[in-house]
Amino acid sequence: QVQLVESGGGLVQTGGSLKLSCQGSGRTFSGYHMGWFRQAPGKEREFVAAISWGGGSTSYTDSVKGRFTISRDNAKNTMYLQMNTLKPEDTAIYYCNVVRSVIRPEPSALGSWGQGTQVTVSS
């Protein structure tokens, strides 16, 4: 399994920005499609964005399209999520994981859930 560590969360006001990072271990990181997920209090974990192994294809859930941008740097074994124009409803713990595909971004058993990083957007 690929070991993943998320970072970059914090407290920000409505309309602000944050950039999350997902550091992967192992030489196989660059061969995997990757995704971001989030879990708000009292809700199930949901898909946010996904990126193909080479970075050429991406997908987003409708609620973040135009505001969030997913990217990756395989040389650094790192994936990013740039979040702009944040809203209170974006408040959640954000996780990264390996996904089966960009079109059907279901978590893969090749990855594992980390501790996540907390994002809090105040109104």
* Predicted pLDDT of residue 8: 98
* Predicted pLDDT of residue 27: 63
* Predicted pLDDT of residue 12: 98
* Predicted pLDDT of residue 41: 93
Please list the ranges in the chain whose pLDDT falls under 70. Answer: 26-27
Residues in the chain: 123
* Predicted pLDDT of residue 30: 86
* Predicted pLDDT of residue 69: 98
